[in-house]
């Protein structure tokens, strides 16, 4: 087929009807787990001031450096399509004085994010995330609870083989010492790392640890580890987090080089993975489903008073693909009955009948575009309904309707205005 003139922009995708059932079950599970843990929904605009991300996410992060979609408004404001949720929600927290509410404040949101990335499997330029944030609690119990929620959502979706990578990247007290040690380690290796990392050694050395290039990973394997540089406060916090995780039987690995690509993290960082295709030797490896951490300094950076905070973002597109690989979606409720009609008068009468069934909360399938009874019954058969209602010309004249039991083929005629009640009885009797 010739290439169509109009297709989705590079790296963006449609979510087709066949994926919507998965999407709905993912959102349903994520929202019910969040509600259980006391989270409330918040929605923020898709566009924000670009400076919000430059300041918060960080100018030397990949996201701000090369992945933001920015635009200038007619009024001259520089706005960005949100590349992540955390800065928006922190901004909203400050703007609406949520620091006056009883703490902690627990919020969740979901929706599209935009990052100009090199498109590859499972990586989109318009991606979808489920995101939670907790404000006003510095305890490691919160960090553990976030990890527990993340895992609970995946488990409720019947995903197995989940692994959590955790690390602490310290805070403003201890990280500078680590940075110094890391720079001095990397200094005489600047020609052994990729060109991006050569620059990062000067601008943001921790991000060298995050680089996916083979040669940079090699260099990384000998690098000093943050854990050896943690101050007492950060060390205690991390130890406490691991104790909570142990207590909750959460499957974690300590990854001493996990840093996450954002500037604002302090102490806890984590990432969650699911095995790509458990039991299938042809498809090895893990799928990154999201991650998060603590960011105790961001509120102050935005001009608020110091407020401890932590959160995570879950990649919905990734979870969807993992769920599709590992399990089946919970079937959308299939219609219980089918309404077949013969002739224009019957078609007209059936419109009202649909509304009556809808009010009675009984799902009815139809095939108004088909005129032959045989084609309609074949459709009903395919849908696996238990009963088919048949509204023919004669039934229209004497205000009745035929109810056919699909298995046995038994039929009976009832008054049209009693059809809903009759069907209720039949369905309940099953």
Identify whether the C-beta of residue 275 lies closer than 8 Å to the C-beta of residue 322: no
Per CB under 5 A, the list member of 26, 146, 197, 353 interacting with Zn ion is 197
Please report whether residue 216 would count as binding Zn ion according to CB under 5 A: yes
Q: State the nearest-atom distance from the C-beta of 172 to Zn ion, in Å.
A: 8
Number of residues that bind Zn ion (CB under 5 A): 11
Q: State the nearest-atom distance from the C-beta of 204 to Zn ion, in Å.
A: 12
Q: State the nearest-atom distance from the C-beta of 171 to Zn ion, in Å.
A: 4
Per CB under 5 A, the list member of 164, 234, 353, 377 interacting with Zn ion is 234
Please report whether residue 172 would count as binding Zn ion according to CB under 5 A: no
Cα separation of 387 and 373, whole Å? Answer: 14
What letter does residue 125 receive in the DSSP assignment?
S
Cα separation of 343 and 340, whole Å? Answer: 10
Per CB under 5 A, the list member of 133, 171, 275, 395 interacting with Zn ion is 171
Q: State the nearest-atom distance from the C-beta of 236 to Zn ion, in Å.
A: 10
Please report whether residue 213 would count as binding Zn ion according to CB under 5 A: yes
Cα separation of 14 and 16, whole Å? Answer: 6
Q: State the nearest-atom distance from the C-beta of 174 to Zn ion, in Å.
A: 3
Q: Where are the beta strands (DSSP E) in 335-426?
A: 337-341, 364-366, 387-391, 400-405, 411-415
Q: State the nearest-atom distance from the C-beta of 334 to Zn ion, in Å.
A: 51
**Residue span binding Zn ion (CB under 5 A) among the ranges 72-80, 121-129, 226-234, 405-413:** 226-234
Residue 386: which of 333, 342, 341, 430 has the closest Cα? 430
Query: How far, rounded to the nearest angstrom, does the alpha carbon of residue 47 sit from its chain's CA centroid?
Result: 19
**Residue span binding Zn ion (CB under 5 A) among the ranges 7-15, 143-151, 228-236, 281-289:** 228-236
Please report whether residue 174 would count as binding Zn ion according to CB under 5 A: yes
Per CB under 5 A, the list member of 32, 40, 95, 173 interacting with Zn ion is 173
Decide whether 190 or 277 has the Cβ nearer to Zn ion: 190
Beta bridge partners of 142: none
Please report whether residue 170 would count as binding Zn ion according to CB under 5 A: yes
Cα separation of 261 and 266, whole Å? Answer: 12
Identify whether the C-beta of residue 388 lies closer than 8 Å to the C-beta of residue 380: yes
Q: State the nearest-atom distance from the C-beta of 219 to Zn ion, in Å.
A: 8
**Residue span binding Zn ion (CB under 5 A) among the ranges 100-108, 181-189, 212-220, 369-377:** 212-220
Please report whether residue 211 would count as binding Zn ion according to CB under 5 A: yes
Please report whether residue 94 would count as binding Zn ion according to CB under 5 A: no
184, 223, 347, 412 from 394: Cα distances, Å: 91, 85, 13, 14
**Residue span binding Zn ion (CB under 5 A) among the ranges 23-31, 87-95, 213-221, 243-251:** 213-221
Please report whether residue 65 would count as binding Zn ion according to CB under 5 A: no
In the three-class reduction of DSSP (H, G, I as helix; E, B as strand; rest coil), residue 305 is classed as: coil
Please report whether residue 227 would count as binding Zn ion according to CB under 5 A: no
**Residue span binding Zn ion (CB under 5 A) among the ranges 141-149, 160-168, 209-217, 375-383:** 209-217
Beta bridge partners of 163: 273
Query: How far, rounded to the nearest angstrom, does the alpha carbon of residue 178 sit from its chain's CA centroid?
Result: 33
Site string for Zn ion, 177-196 (x = CB under 5 A): -----------------x--
Please report whether residue 259 would count as binding Zn ion according to CB under 5 A: no
Q: State the nearest-atom distance from the C-beta of 110 to Zn ion, in Å.
A: 32
Cα separation of 274 and 288, whole Å? Answer: 7
Per CB under 5 A, the list member of 231, 383, 402, 426 interacting with Zn ion is 231
Decide whether 174 or 316 has the Cβ nearer to Zn ion: 174
Decide whether 25 or 268 has the Cβ nearer to Zn ion: 268
Q: State the nearest-atom distance from the C-beta of 159 to Zn ion, in Å.
A: 31
Q: Where are the beta strands (DSSP E) in 169-265?
A: 252-254
Question: Could you give phi then psi for residue 387, rounded to 5 degrees?
Answer: -135, 150
Question: Could you give phi then psi for residue 262, rounded to 5 degrees?
Answer: -115, 155
Cα separation of 141 and 362, whole Å? Answer: 45
Please report whether residue 140 would count as binding Zn ion according to CB under 5 A: no
Element containing residue 287 per DSSP (H, E)? strand 286-294
Query: How far, rounded to the nearest angstrom, does the alpha carbon of residue 288 sit from its chain's CA centroid?
Result: 12
Cα separation of 345 and 169, whole Å? Answer: 72
Contacting residues toward Zn ion, per CB under 5 A = 170-171, 173-174, 194, 197, 211, 213, 216, 231, 234
């Amino acid at each position: 087929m010739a290439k169509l003139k109009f297709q989705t922009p590079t790296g963006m995708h449609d979510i087709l009807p066949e994926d919507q059932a998965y999407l709905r079950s993912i959102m349903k599970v994520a929202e019910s787990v969040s509600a259980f843990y006391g989270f409330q929904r918040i929605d923020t605009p898709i566009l924000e001031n670009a400076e919000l991300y430059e300041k918060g996410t960080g100018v030397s992060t990949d996201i701000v450096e090369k992945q933001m979609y920015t635009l200038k408004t007619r009024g001259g404001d520089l706005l960005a399509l949100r590349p992540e949720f955390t800065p928006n929600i922190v901004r909203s927290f400050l703007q609406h004085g949520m620091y006056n509410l009883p703490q902690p404040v627990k919020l969740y949101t979901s929706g599209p994010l935009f990052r100009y990335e090199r498109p590859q499997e499972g990586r989109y330029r318009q991606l979808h995330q489920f995101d939670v944030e907790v404000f006003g609690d510095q305890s490691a119990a919160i960090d553990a609870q976030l990890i527990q929620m993340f895992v609970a959502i995946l488990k409720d979706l019947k995903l197995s083989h989940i692994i959590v990578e955790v690390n602490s990247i310290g805070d403003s007290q201890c990280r500078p010492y680590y940075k110094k040690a890391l720079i001095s380690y990397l200094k005489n290796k600047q020609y052994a790392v990729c060109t991006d990392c050569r620059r990062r050694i000067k601008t943001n050395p921790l991000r060298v640890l995050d680089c996916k290039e083979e040669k940079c990973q090699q260099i990384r394997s000998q690098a000093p580890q943050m854990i050896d540089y943690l101050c007492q406060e950060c060390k205690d916090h991390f130890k406490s987090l691991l104790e909570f995780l142990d207590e909750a039987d959460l499957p974690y690995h300590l990854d001493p080089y996990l840093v996450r690509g954002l500037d604002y993290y302090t102490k806890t960082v984590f990432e969650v993975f699911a095995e790509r295709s458990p039991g299938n030797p042809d498809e090895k490896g893990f799928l990154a489903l999201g991650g998060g951490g603590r960011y105790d300094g961001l509120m102050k950076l935005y001009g608020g008073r110091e407020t401890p905070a932590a959160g995570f973002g879950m990649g919905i597109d990734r979870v969807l693909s993992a769920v599709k690989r590992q399990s089946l979606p919970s079937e959308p409720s299939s219609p219980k009955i089918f309404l077949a009609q013969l002739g224009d008068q019957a078609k007209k009468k059936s419109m009202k009948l649909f509304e009556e069934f809808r009010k009675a909360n009984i799902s009815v399938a139809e095939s108004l575009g088909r005129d032959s009874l045989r084609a309609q019954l074949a459709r009903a058969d395919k849908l696996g309904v238990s009963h088919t209602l048949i509204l023919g010309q004669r039934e229209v004249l004497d205000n009745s309707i035929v109810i056919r039991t699909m298995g046995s083929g038994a039929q009976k005629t009832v008054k049209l205005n009693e059809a809903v009640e009759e069907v209720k009885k039949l369905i309940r009797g099953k």
